């Protein structure tokens, strides 16, 4: 009967060591990620406010402005969400 307990204890020790190794591996990957922007921006450094320009390259005079971020959007009523902040263009 002692042989069964030896195997069980050995299994639990090996399992715990493997779990710790996996935890340490993933923890090291998280620590190696680039540091976020000190200003609190996107950690990838992408400026998401450049979407204020029109897709065609020039501002249209009949564009719809987002009530949340002020971005210029297409005047077509089929578009319900802002292309910059993805909030509703209806202001709700």
Q: Which domain holds residue 66?
A: 46-92
H or E element, residue 65: strand 64-65
> What single DSSP character describes residue 89?
T
- Evaluate whether residue 38 is within a structural domain: no
Residues 58 and 89 occupy one common structural domain: yes
The whole-angstrom separation of Cα 92 and Cα 81 is 11
What is the Cα Rg of the chain in Å? 27
Report pLDDT digits (tens) over 22-34.
Answer: 999 888 876 555 5
Report pLDDT digits (tens) over 9-54.
Answer: 999 999 999 999 999 988 887 655 555 555 555 555 555 554 444 4
Q: What is the pTM of this model?
A: 0.33
- Evaluate whether residue 9 is within a structural domain: yes
Give alpha helix (H) positions in the chain. 2-31
Domain count, the chain: 2
The whole-angstrom separation of Cα 61 and Cα 44 is 33
Contacts of 59 (CB under 8 A, 6+ apart): 53, 72
Residues 19 and 51 occupy one common structural domain: no
């Amino acid at each position: 009967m002692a042989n069964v307990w030896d195997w069980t204890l050995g299994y639990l020790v090996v399992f715990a060591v493997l779990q710790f190794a996996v935890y340490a591996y993933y923890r090291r990957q998280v620590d190696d990620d680039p540091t976020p922007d000190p200003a609190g921006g996107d950690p990838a450094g992408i400026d998401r406010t450049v979407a204020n320009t029109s897709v065609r390259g020039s501002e249209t005079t009949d564009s719809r402005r987002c009530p949340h971020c002020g971005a210029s959007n297409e005047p077509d009523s089929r578009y319900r969400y802002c292309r910059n902040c993805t909030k509703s263009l209806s202001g709700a």
